[in-house]
Amino acid sequence: MSMMMFRLVVTLGVDYHRRVGTEAVLSLQYANPEPHPVIEKEQSRSEQAGTEVLTFESSIVPYRLEKRIYVLYTAKVHPRQFPDKDLLNLTEEDKLIVFTVLDGFETIEKECNEAGSPLLWYKKPDLSQIIRQVDRVQWRQPVATVGGNLLSNLITGHGLPNANHRTSLSFLETYLQTFDSTFEIPDTGVSGEWYDWSADFVQESKRLLMMSRKAPMFRYLVQWGCEHIERKNGDSIYLQDYNIDVDDPYSHFRSKHKKLCTDFVRRVLDRTENQYLIDKEDPGKTVFLDRLASDQ
């Protein structure tokens, strides 16, 4: 399924997202001053999609910056199923981690369905990423540091088809509950101090992830006169606020993301009057899994 849309926009910004009704949210993938490379990129991406994957393209969208450029937006919607093979050969400990994450995801998906806003599966799930990202955490550090690393790794690992932020926050809550079973992260879906503060965290988290992946392309956009990127929900990102010229943007922005997540955990513990956990030493992954198993 593909769509061709033509629109001339006089602006110093470029949209990062474009909606296709309720079917998909497209994201910016490629830009070039000439239309033909964009067409070739679109054809190449379409040919790579699997037979069960719906692909969406919005190609040859011209933007007039200091010079006209052409951009490609794409999205994929995957079947709503987790591959059984991902659960084969997992150790009991790995299963415990995966099923804990999936419980959080399924709860979020159910809530979205009940609200009439079903989640789109825009990425093929990769449950092995969940194990890989938890294994990358250095345990036996202060609880706030371990919690921040868990949160950052699960978000950036992107092992789920959608709702990676909300599901990772759910797993963080589970981790902190192994120290205090009554612990709860306040409801972040209700407007007010907690909502506004947590929404700021999620927005900045998404900006840093976007920069880690797209900084090389954004460098070209800046050369062509682009000043800001417009994400969905009216989130304007001014490129001069981010150091997109670093040699290794992936590592640079992922490091910033980990710090952002660790600071977030520290503030959560402070605001919930659990300050004693901020610098308390985590006893290790084995203890965490033992506590997690005892709560099942």
Interval 91-113: pLDDT, tens? 899 999 999 999 999 999 999 99
What backbone torsions phi and psi does residue 233 show, to the nearest 5 degrees? Answer: 65, 25
Convert the pLDDT of each residue in 158-191 to its tens digit: 999 999 999 999 999 999 999 999 998 876 555 5
Q: Is residue 243 part of a domain?
A: no
Q: Is residue 73 part of a domain?
A: yes
Q: At what angle do helices 285-294 and 92-114 cross, to 10 degrees?
A: 60
Helix (H, G, I), strand (E, B) or coil at 4: strand
Secondary structure E strands in the chain: 3-4, 9-10, 13-15, 17-20, 24-32, 54-64, 68-77, 228-231, 235-238
Average pLDDT over residues 199-206: 92
- Decide if 189 contacts 195 (C-beta within 8 A): yes
Domain boundary among 77, 96, 127: 77
pLDDT of residue 65: 80
Q: Is residue 103 part of a domain?
A: yes
144 and 277 share one domain: yes
Average pLDDT over residues 248-274: 96
Cα 276 to Cα 142: distance, rounded to the nearest angstrom: 10
181 and 61 share one domain: no
Q: Which helix (H) or strand (E) holds 73?
A: strand 68-77
Amino acid at the residue 70: Y
Q: Is residue 275 part of a domain?
A: yes
- Decide if 179 contacts 277 (C-beta within 8 A): yes
159 and 255 share one domain: yes
pTM assigned to the model: 0.89
pLDDT of residue 157: 94
Domain boundary among 48, 77, 106: 77
Domain boundary among 77, 105, 128: 77
255 and 271 share one domain: yes
pLDDT of residue 64: 75
Domain count, the chain: 2
- Decide if 111 contacts 16 (C-beta within 8 A): no
More confident residue, 54 or 275: 275
Helix (H, G, I), strand (E, B) or coil at 154: helix
Give the chain's mean pLDDT. Answer: 87
pLDDT of residue 215: 96
Q: Which range of residues forms the domain containing residue 11?
A: 3-77
Average pLDDT over residues 100-128: 92
